[in-house]
Amino acid sequence: MSDTNNTSPRRKFLKNAAVGTAGAAAMGFPMISSAQTVNLRFQSTWPAKDIFHEYANDYATKVNAMSGGRLKIEVLPAGSVVKAFDMLDAVSSGTLDGGHGVLAYWYGKSPALALWGSGPAFGMDANTLLSWNQYGGGQQLLNEIYNDLKLDVVSFPYGPMPTQPLGWFKKPIAKADDLKGLKYRTVGLSIEIFTDMGASVQALPGGEIIPAMDRGVLDAAEFNNASSDRILGFPDVSKINMLQSFHQSSEQFEIIFNKKKFSSLAPDLQAILTYGTQAASADMSWKAIDRYSKDFAELQTKDKVKFYATPKSILVAQLNAWDKIIAKKAAELPMFKKVLDSQKAFAQRAVRWDLLTNVDMKIAYDHYFKG
């Protein structure tokens, strides 16, 4: 007997089986996301031409690629939305979704923030200081400071910087007394180091330093590295650079996001933004070695800059000034002392290990290149 009834149990079974098979087949194909792209309004604290702004763009490029188009960060240079020193407040308020800068720029909010980069850090270099931040309790303390300040941000210190020069001068600095009376630019707690040593200090963003030196508003200044200094035009206003200093011997960058914006993102996008900072940190440190060494050579050959090692007597004077500054601030500010104690405990272990473990590479360099 033929089955001509569409409502028969057998016909229903075959129809449902066909639908189920089609659904199973569809599940075998890759799913194409229909989610809209999240655009993040992002600004750096650097001029567009500076290599630091390039580092900010490098982070954005990595994040945009890893998200498969679901995130889009377009980095604006300093001043596009707010002034460099106003970037933290703009991110906290939501005027910006994120930004790229350094913690020393927020020194006016809390002196403890400058400990992520200003001063000798008990002998820690920038990478060791980042290790303290990641594994020694630094990140938790940083979060506590921002919460206490009622700043609605998520912070990621990253990108270890090489030791910064003492700076650019009209003539070589032979002794600590040579700094007395100089109109000098620096930022963060370094302001207090050089003030204690007798300099008249001004805090200026990177893009404002050269015009100030050109007009005579500044006699001397430090910024950061051979590439930035060359790009910003330091060789046009000075031909003397003093290498090595304790005022910022372990600084790193900071990537920040508005906390509400960050928390509103899907967990995988939050992870991309988070772990993207680690990828960018490694890449930045490798790029810095390549670019800084090239520009260091060109400053000498093309720009006729003369480099001098900062005398040990000045370095010791910096340490002595630093000791007075941190003792005073630790007595006045409980959070400052809390950060300082945490750094000191980590440094005592980590720096000792580093000094005893790693060989002095100068021996090998001299063997091959100074024979």
pLDDT in tens, 6-44: 444 444 444 454 444 444 444 443 343 446 899 999 999
pLDDT in tens, 94-144: 999 999 999 999 999 999 999 999 999 999 999 999 999 999 999 999 999
Cα–Cα distance, 48 to 43 (Å, whole number): 10
C-alpha dihedral (178, 179, 183, 184), degrees to nearest 10: 130
366 bridge partner residues: none
pLDDT in tens, 308-341: 999 999 999 999 999 999 999 999 999 999 999 9
Average pLDDT, the chain: 91
pLDDT at 206: 84
pLDDT at 35: 66
Which percentage of the chain shows pLDDT scores above 90?
Answer: 88
**Is the alpha carbon torsion for 207, 41, 134, 322 positive or negative?**
positive
Q: How many helices (H) and strands (E) does the chain have?
A: 13, 11
pLDDT in tens, 204-259: 888 899 999 999 999 999 999 999 999 999 999 999 999 999 999 999 999 999 99
Cα–Cα distance, 89 to 43 (Å, whole number): 12
Phi-psi region of 206 (alpha: psi -120 to 50; beta: other; left: phi over 0): alpha
- Within 198-250, where are the H helices? 209-214, 226-232
Q: What's the burial of 137, exposed, middle or buried (CB within 10 Å: 0-12/13-18/19+)?
A: middle
pLDDT at residue 198 greater than cutoff 60: yes
pLDDT at 238: 96
Cα–Cα distance, 270 to 259 (Å, whole number): 11
Mean pLDDT for the stretch of residues 188-194: 92
pLDDT in tens, 245-303: 999 999 999 999 999 999 999 999 999 999 999 999 999 999 999 999 999 999 999 99
pLDDT in tens, 133-175: 999 999 999 999 999 999 999 999 999 999 999 999 999 999 9
Contact 8, 63 (CB under 8 A): no
> Buried (b) or exposed (e) across 146-181, using 16+ Cβ within 10 A?
beebebbbbbbbbbbbbbbbbbbbeeebeebebbee
Contact 185, 229 (CB under 8 A): no
Mean pLDDT for the stretch of residues 48-73: 97
| Percent composition of the chain: helix, strand, coil (DSSP 3-state, to 5) | 55, 15, 30
End-to-end Cα separation, the chain, in angstroms:
104
Contact 109, 300 (CB under 8 A): no
* Nearest Cα residue to 156 out of 99, 209, 197, 204: 99
* Nearest Cα residue to 189 out of 315, 336, 335: 336
Phi, psi at residue 267, to the nearest 5°?
-55, -35
pLDDT at 188: 84
308 bridge partner residues: 242
pLDDT at 24: 42
Q: Amino acid identity of 210? A: I
Residue 124, token pair as written in the block: 């820690």
Domains of the chain: 38-161+250-291 (3.40.190.170)
Residue 308, token pair as written in the block: 């001098």
pLDDT at 306: 98
pLDDT at 68: 95
pLDDT at 186: 92
The DSSP string of 119-176 is B-GGG--HHHHHHHHHHSSHHHHHHHHHHHTT--EEEEEEEEPPPPPSEEESS---SG
Phi, psi at residue 222, to the nearest 5°?
-120, 150
Whole-structure pTM value: 0.87
- Within 28-86, where are the H helices? 51-66
Cα–Cα distance, 61 to 56 (Å, whole number): 9
* Nearest Cα residue to 310 out of 354, 259, 258, 249: 249
